[in-house]
Structures are given as structure tokens and as C-alpha cells.
Structure 1
Amino acid sequence: MNPPAARIESLTILIAEDNAADRLLLSTIVSRQGHRVLTAGNGLEAVALFETERPQLVLMDVMMPVMDGFEAARRIKQQAGEELVPIIFLTSLSETEALVQSLEAGGDDFLSKPYNRVILEAKINAMGRLHLLQRTVLEQRDLIVRHNEHLLNEQRVAKAVFDKVAHSGCLNASNVRYLQSPLALFNGDLLLAAYKPSGGMHVLLGDFTGHGLPAAIGAMPLAEVFYGMTAKGYPMADILREMNAKLKRILPVGVFCCATLLNLSFQRELVEVWNGGLPDGYLLRAASGERVALVSRHLPLGILEPAAFSDRCETYPLDIEDRIFLFSDGVLEASNKAGEMFGEARLLQLFERNRQPSALFDEIQRSLAQFRGAVQDDVSMLEVRLQPDSGLQCPPLAFSDSGVSSPLDWSVSFEFRAETLKHFNPLPHVLQLLLEVHDLRARGGALYTVLAELYSNALEHGVIGLDSTMKSDAAGFARYYQERVSRLQALRDGYVRLHLDLAPHGAGGVCWCGSRTAAKVSTWSAR
């Protein structure tokens, strides 16, 4: 013998039957099964009872006065909404068309007259299990919705903090255009830009592995290093080394950041480029239309140990209105509905067909939007062009202020000797000392310019004996800095002394009384 089926929980069952004898028979059978019974003599009464009592199952006769079972079933299903209320039609009809009509009207099953107690009990148990399953599904759905809303609220709070730390900096500058299309709330692609105290700007496009929150975990420490060290005047090489070391230290294995960092000097009309793992960027020259590939020559940030990391950059001269284009891999890997990738060849065709460089960014963006289907990756691209310093509105350097008063009356002297001059740039540390004075912070850029000019003159002319006439043309400019690197590497003697003097002035103001540098001519060995 088969084991008896497990009993379901007690249900409230509505019986709609115009025949009093059949109604009593059904009520007796159903109540003996342990269910609560409601009865109606026609379809209209059944609809009214359903509205007030909300039964879990309906036994509905097809042919009834006032309102037949078909219309009553349609109205009950409409009132039930997303709740599953099974309807079993009670019928003496045997024609196929009539049975199909019962199901189309909202019925879930039918029971032929005369009634069989065993079959009726089995059908009620089956519908009860179906009702219980649907209720469980709805409860789990509502639980998932609540959990999802809780998760989204947590992510919104985290995103607000994320946006304050990994903010866009000066990406809204007039010489910068960008597109950023994240796949999720958190973005694995990172666009950062900041003005340097010495003039010009640093620009970074980064692409962390993965998408969403796991991909964004490294963005905050990376942005903190980028903005903090740029504001303090650190050179590009030091920023790269610190970003790589920090990501290597904190990120789990398998998470790293492909990145391109630009160091734009508007006064010197140069750009330094470091590309680690991103697709080729391009320098588009306005005068000739020449396209120079900015090729990746390094591993991404966060992979190599500090000792193995290379901060070697490539330097390119720039003319006014020259443009640099950077892309994340989401641009090249964007797919259409056929699964075909946008690809490098299609991108280069856009460069070749373009006759108006100022419109190229829009043309790439439009072509990408027309080509791709559903977004499958974070998509970012960036355009930076060279323009005169006078065309940029550089805000003052930003600092967090604890409210503690700053020192107002002091003087200090430094002597930087050969080994320091070879491997270390002291200007960020000197600038940071000055910017501890609140009233000098608004002049941070001007201070850095003065200090950099004094230090460069003392080092390049006083210590290693370079001749500034070498910088009379672009080729000489490049030779000048090659010779500077060579002589610094061979430096054995010499020093630069720097003296700073600060004193109170007026009502609550300060006076930077000035700075002086002195240099001792060095000796070096030619290589």
C-alpha cells in the first residue's frame, strides 16, 4: 500500500452551487476534511463573499442564476490580484469546448458531477499545496526585496563616501571631456584629474578588475594618494610608486588596476605618459593630423612589488589644441547583438575618417552608442587637449582644517646634499611646511612656482652646471633634460641650501619674508 498523503493545513473554502442538495453534500464532505466552509447560491453572492472573507479555494458551479460561474471566476481572479486562489469548476458538462471555456475563464481544474469524495479530497489537497507553494514564493520574494533594499541603502551610503574620496577633481575643466558609463552602482573605472601647484595637471584613467563594489574597493586609496600627492607637488614618478605600493599592500590577489597617468605641463608644452595595462591611447596632433599611439609598456598597478616596479614615462611635445584620447577596455570590448566587438580597427577608422579634431570625441561616442547592445562592462573614455594656462580657471588647493592655529613666526634652513639631490625632490615637503600656515594656503600654487624656480636654478645652473641656452628649440629642450638626468646620476658632490623666513604682519596676517637659495658647484664623472 502507498503511504497516506500528508494532510495540508486547514483552508477556508467557498462553495458556489445553486442546487441546495449539492451545496449541502459538498459542505459536508469539505467540512469533514477539517476545512472552514462558506456557501453561496449564485455567482454574485460568491463574488461578494470572496471580497469580504478572502477564501483560499473556490468550488464553483458553472450554470447558476443571476451570474454564471464563468463571470464569477473572472471577477474573483481580478480581485485576488497576484494572490493565487485556485478555482475548481463543478460541472456536468462533458463537451471539450465547455471544459476549455472553464479553464479560460480562470479555472484551475474541474470536477464532474456526480461528486466522488476521494477525488474531491485529492483535488483540494493538491490545490492546497499549490496555494502554500505560492504563498512561500511570495514571502521569499518580499524577503528578497527587503534585503535588496537594505543592501542598496548600504551601497548608497558607501557610494556617497566613495564619491567624496574618489571625486572627479578638475574633470570639468574646459580642456577635458569624458564619458563614463558604469555597469553597476559602483564603477570599476576611475577618472581622476587634479591641478598641480606648479601649473598643469595630472590626469588618470584607471580600470580595476571586475565590476561593481569588488572592483571599486581600490579606488578610494588610489584617489587619496593621487589627490594628496598632487596637491603637495610630488612628481609623477613618486605618485606612481606610492599608488602601486599601496594597491599591492591592500588589494587581494587577482585585483589590480590597469591605468594610464598623464602629467601635462602647459608652460613647457609637454606631456609625460605612463601606461600600465590599458588599451593604447592616442595623441592627435592638430597641425599635421598625425596620430601617435600611447602604448602600454608596464604591468598594471598593484601587481609588482615596489622594488620591481618601473615608473619610467614617455615624454611627448605638445602644441596648442593637440588632443590626447584615452580608453578603457570596455570601449574596445563593447559588443553588439551579434556578439561582435567594437574593436580597435573600428576605432582607428573613426580617427582616419575624422577631418575636424574637435568633433572626434562626439563621433566616437555616437558610433559606440549605435554599435553596442546591452552594457556588459564599465565604459570610459577621455579627451584632454593642451591650452594656454590663461584659459584655465584653477581653484585654490584644498586642505582639511582641524581648526588648530598655525605657527606664525619662524625661520628654517635646509641643506640638500648630493645623494638627496640625485634621488629626492624636496619641494613637496618644503611646500607642505609653508601650507601649514592658513593664510598662505590660497597662494599655494604661486609659492610652489617660486620655490620650484629657485630650486631648479640652484640645482641645474649652480650644482650641475647646465646652460639654459640649450633650451632654444624643441630638440635642445629634450637634450637639456637628458643631460640633466645624466649629470644627476653621476653627481658626487655639491649642495643646495634653502632658507625660509616667516613673520606675523598686520592684524592677524602673516608675511613670508622670502626665501634664499645657495648652491655649491659640484663635480661629476661623465658616463
Structure 2
Amino acid sequence: MLKVLIADDSETDRFLVCKLLKHLGYACESVSNGAEVLELFDKYRPDILLLDVLMPKMDGLKLAGAVKKLAGEDFIPILFLTGLHEVEFIERCLDSGGDDFITKPVNPRILKAKMSAFGRMRTMQNSLLQHRNQLRKHHQQLLEEQSVAKHVYDAITGGGSLDCGTIRHHMSSLAVFNGDVLLASIRPNGNLMLLLGDFTGHGLPAALGSMPLASSFYNMVATGFSLPDILRELNQKMSSLLPRGFFCCAIVAELDFIRYKLSVWNGGLPTGYFFQQEDDDYIPLPSTHLPLGVETGERFSDECQVLDFNEEDRLLIWTDGIYDVRNSKDERIGPDAIDHIVAQHDASKIDELFDTILMAVENHMGGDSTTDDLSLVEVLTKAPEADVDAIQQPSSHSGPLAWQFEFEIKPPTFHSLDPIPVLMTFLSQVPGLGTKATSLFTVLSELYNNALDHGLLGLSSFDKRNSEGFSNYYHERERRLKNLTDGYVRFTLRLTTGQHAGRLEVSVEDSGPGFDYQLHKQGVNNLLHGRGIDMVRQFSQSLSYEGRGNIAKAIYVWSLSG
């Protein structure tokens, strides 16, 4: 039942109108002036207000404005009761806050019709307010949930090595979550790995794909997996997790600071550019693959574009949000404008190209917001400043105190499996070894590479004495590896830990012919004591050879006291 409050200084008029309203099914209260309305308003809280225009103490025109303020967001219709019919007067009534008027003497049929109409409006307004309040509540709950999800998202996708001193990036998004993702991490061998991805869609759906992508990327890089292995794992994960029609366009790059090689895989992102300072030239890095999550199994290709680099070179990549920014006329900036900026840029001012592109995009947008997630990344080809050992945190597991583990590899597994990341994943669970990624990776990989390259494949380190020989060495390595049909490399790991230190004995045996290691002294035989073996000696407590020279044993010791 709707409640009506009548304010009229005429007792007769109040009585008649109130009687009519009660007959129509309304609850009714009446007062004689505006001041009494204000006193009774909060207690009675009427649904509809009928006000005489001319009343003592406070007339209806002033009272209407005061009531609207008291009502706040609540819609309480105000109908004026008046015997005046002048247009100017009626206009003043409506301008003061009134919603309609009823002329005196009151016609019962007019009163019924107007009360019914405003009653429906009042009910509708209440319903709208309830729905609005529910939406506000749900919106607040959504914001709180997104805040928690954003915290998890940032923890998983952030960090890494983006602050290693060689990466500059600009990322903006349409929503709380970004459909673009930028990941960077350093392999235990010092190589910088970078991934720029652009997921289908925006917001939370895109972020859900970014989290497993980032988790796999960081875990695999930290344990030393190669770029092809990482690409295949990421593609498989995206294929299995993302729904049909969702995928991740990506550029994945690796900078090898020992061989000075840049490897780039582009699956669906715009053509990037690699600037070579020495040649004063831009090399395009076009998309040659489908996005991650589209191809499956053997149809997926991990083939990369490989380039030589010097320390003065730089890599520029971006997502297609750069092309899709629009101005106030809804015009895209488009790829031609960006390509023109790159082509016409002064090579002597290459360090300004990043800012030039970004400024052109912002100028095109003016004050408008972007129409897509937007990311621009520049990578300098100099060794990063980050501490690789600090990237992988120590394990929270207590770990075994003593064990022995044997792991043997035979053809054709050599060509398809790198055993070092497998061993690193296992050893990272040992207390104290989780923070020794660089040195431990170096010991394992150098002993393994020597066993495989020199022991089984019969390659000589002398072939790597210059850049051309280095390239020929790896081509010959690939050829011999494909033709290898027999032999093995066997790892034997023995671990013991005490109260303050741990000891890992690494034995790497190959089935090759070996050599007379007793005739060679440290620093004389380049095959045995090249740069890699010198690093093994540096990181190990001791290094020795046994058998016919085909068994290398290194003792690795670390502190457990932090």
C-alpha cells in the first residue's frame, strides 16, 4: 500500500482528498503547513506528496525543493493542489521541483488517474534503484575478485629479468588485465630469453592464458631448456588449455652472448626489426609461423630466424595494438605509418627510434584511449646485468640427505632430448642447490657437451678458433649427430649433505675411444682444457679423469648456511 502525505491549510480540502485516497486504497496522513511536512517526513516517509501551493510558514514552492533534498536518490512524486490556472504560475510550480498538478476543486477521476500513474512510476523507480544497488554490489565484488586475480597474475607474469638493463618496454591495456604479455628470463648459461605475446581478446580471458604461459616459460628457462624445447612446450600447453578460436600470437627470442647469435621465432605478430649498427641496416623479422596453440604435434615448427649481432645492435618488436590505435575520426594509424617511421629514421639516432614510434602513436590518438592492448619493446644486444643465480629460488622441500642417481642417454635420443634441464629440474629440489643455477648448469652442460661432442662425435675444439669455424663446427655436429647410431653418455650423481654443506659428485662417462689423459697437463691440450673445462674447474672443488679418459668426475660443494 502506497503512503500519501497531504499538506493543505484548508481543513475541508484535506479531509475530502484524504477520504478519496483511502477509498482508492492508499494510506493517508495530512498536515496544515510546510513546516509540519518537514517534521513528519523522515518518520512517515511518504511515497507520494500532495502540496497546496499557498500555505503558512512555508509555501509549497519552497517546500518542494526542501523535500527533494531530503528524498535524495529516492523518487517521491510531488503533485501541487492549486486553484490557479495561469501558465506562468504552473511553470513556477514545475520548476520548483513539482512533478505535476491537480486543480481545485479536486476531480475524483483525475485524482485517481494521476495517483495511479505516479504510483506506477514510484514502483518502477524503486525497482530500478534495487537493481542498481545490486549491480553496484556485484560490481564491487567483481572489482575485489579482479584485484585478487590481478595480484596472482602480476606475481606469475611479472618479475623475471625485465629489469636486467637491456630491455625497454611500454605496455598499455583496455582492461584491468592485459591481453599482451611480456616475459624475460636468463638461462643458466647467460642467454637472455624474451617472449612478447598477444592473446585473443582482452581482460580476464586473455589473462587466464598468460598465467600458464608465463609459468611454463620461466620454469623452463630457469632449468636451462633450449628455445625449440620451450616453443614446443608452450605451443602444446596453449593448444590444450585455450578454447577453440583462442590462441597467442608471439615473438620468442634468444640472445646468445657467447656465440653472438640472435634466434627469433615469430608466430602471428607484426614484423619486427633488428638494427645492425655495423652495417647500418634494418633486418625485418616477419611472422613465418602460426600463433601458439594453433598447430599441434609434428605440424608445429620451431624453426627460428638466426642472425649474428654485435653489442651496438638492437631489437624492436610490438603487438598489432600499435597499428590499431585510432584518432577522433576513428582512423587507424596502420602498419604503413609505422614501417615508414622505421625506414626513414636517422640511423645515427637509433637510440631515439623507440621514443619516435611511441610519440607517433600517442600523437595519432590525441586524447582518445586505445582501441586495443598496445605493447612496444626494445632489446639491446648486450649482456644483461641480472644475477642469474638469483632467478631460481631455493626449494622449500627438505630434500634427501644421501642418494645416488644414474641417467643414461643413447641414440636417437641425443637429437631430441637435452638431458641438462631434466637434471637441473631434479637437482633444484635439493636444499641449497636452487640458488646455484648458473654454476651447476655450467658444470653439467660442459661435461655433457665434451662427452658428446669429443667423446662420441669425435669433434675437435680447434675447429672453433674463429667465427667461421664456430659455424662450421655446429653444422658438422648436427650432421654427425643425425648419423649417430650407437654409443651412450651416462650420468652418475652421488649426493651427500651434512649440517652445514652439501656435496655432489658428478660422473659423466661416454662410450667413445677416450684419450691418454695422463699425458696432458692443464692448459696444454685445448680439447680437454678449453674455456668450458676451465669454468668447470672454477666452479668445482675438483675435476679428474678416469678409465681410458672417457670418464670425467667433478666434485661440487655448496654451503647450506645461506
Question: TM-score, normalising length from structure 2?
Answer: 0.84
| Residue 344 of structure 1 pairs with residue 335 of structure 2 | yes
Structure 2: distance between partners of 1:294 and 1:71: 74
Equivalent residue for 2:392?
Answer: 398
| Residue 374 of structure 1 pairs with residue 366 of structure 2 | no
Structure 1: distance between partners of 2:157 and 2:392: 14
Cα–Cα, structure 1 residues 504 and 54, in superposed 2: closer, same or farther, change >3 Å?
closer
Structure 1: distance between partners of 2:83 and 2:496: 108
Is the partner of 1:418 in helix, strand or coil?
Answer: coil
Is the partner of 2:436 in helix, strand or coil?
Answer: helix
Q: Does structure 2 retain, via aligned residues, the 8 Å contact 1:422–1:491?
A: no
Match of 2:353 among 338, 360, 364: 360
Match of 1:73 among 51, 60, 64: 64
Q: Does structure 1 retain, via aligned residues, the 8 Å contact 2:239–2:292?
A: yes
Match of 1:28 among 16, 19, 27: 19
Structure 2: distance between partners of 1:321 and 1:515: 41
Match of 2:457 among 460, 464, 473: 464
Match of 2:239 among 240, 244, 248: 248
Matched AA of 1:281? G
Equivalent residue for 1:444?
Answer: 437
Structure 2: distance between partners of 1:349 and 1:47: 71
Match of 2:51 among 60, 82, 91: 60
Q: Does structure 2 retain, via aligned residues, the 8 Å contact 1:328–1:381?
A: yes
Is the partner of 2:158 in helix, strand or coil?
Answer: coil
Is the partner of 2:251 in helix, strand or coil?
Answer: strand
Structure 2: distance between partners of 1:19 and 1:308: 91
Deviation at 1:370, TM superposition (A): 3.1
Match of 2:263 among 246, 265, 272: 272
Deviation at 1:23, TM superposition (A): 2.3
Q: Deviations over 1:404-448 (max 9, x none)?
A: 3324354x5554333122222112123334434323332221121
Match of 2:164 among 152, 168, 173: 173
Is the partner of 1:273 in helix, strand or coil?
Answer: strand
Structure 2: distance between partners of 1:17 and 1:510: 95
Q: Deviations over 1:210-230 (max 9, x none)?
A: 111222222222222212211
Equivalent residue for 2:502?
Answer: 510
| Residue 100 of structure 1 pairs with residue 91 of structure 2 | yes
Equivalent residue for 2:115?
Answer: 124
Structure 2: distance between partners of 1:265 and 1:324: 14
Identity of aligned residues (%): 39
Equivalent residue for 2:519?
Answer: none
Question: TM-score, normalising length from structure 1?
Answer: 0.90
Q: Does structure 2 retain, via aligned residues, the 8 Å contact 1:459–1:519?
A: no
Equivalent residue for 1:386?
Answer: 381
Compare 296-305 and 433-442 and name the one that shifted more: 433-442
Cα–Cα, structure 1 residues 21 and 244, in superposed 2: closer, same or farther, change >3 Å?
same
Equivalent residue for 1:432?
Answer: 425
Structure 2: distance between partners of 1:247 and 1:98: 72
Q: Does structure 1 retain, via aligned residues, the 8 Å contact 2:394–2:428?
A: no
Deviation at 1:68, TM superposition (A): 2.2
Structure 1: distance between partners of 2:414 and 2:460: 18
Deviation at 1:513, TM superposition (A): 4.2
Deviation at 1:122, TM superposition (A): 0.9
Q: Deviations over 1:162-204 (max 9, x none)?
A: 3333333121221112222222223222211111011122111
Structure 2: distance between partners of 1:508 and 1:400: 16
Residues paired across the two proteins, number: 510
| Residue 310 of structure 1 pairs with residue 284 of structure 2 | no
Q: Does structure 2 retain, via aligned residues, the 8 Å contact 1:406–1:436?
A: no
> Gapped runs of 5+ residues in structure 1?
1-9, 523-527
Deviation at 1:519, TM superposition (A): 5.3
Q: Write out aligned runs for 1:41-56 (5 A).
A: 41-56=32-47
Q: Does structure 2 retain, via aligned residues, the 8 Å contact 1:244–1:306?
A: no
Deviation at 1:118, TM superposition (A): 0.8
Is the partner of 2:412 in helix, strand or coil?
Answer: helix
Equivalent residue for 1:455?
Answer: 448
Matched AA of 1:380? S
> Gapped runs of 5+ residues in structure 2?
515-562
Equivalent residue for 1:282?
Answer: 273
Q: Deviations over 1:427-471 (max 9, x none)?
A: 212333443432333222112112222222333333334444544
Match of 2:326 among 316, 335, 340: 335
Structure 2: distance between partners of 1:519 and 1:120: 107
RMSD, aligned CA = 2.4
Is the partner of 1:125 in helix, strand or coil?
Answer: helix
Cα–Cα, structure 1 residues 210 and 504, in superposed 2: closer, same or farther, change >3 Å?
closer
Deviation at 1:346, TM superposition (A): 2.3
Match of 1:151 among 98, 120, 142: 142
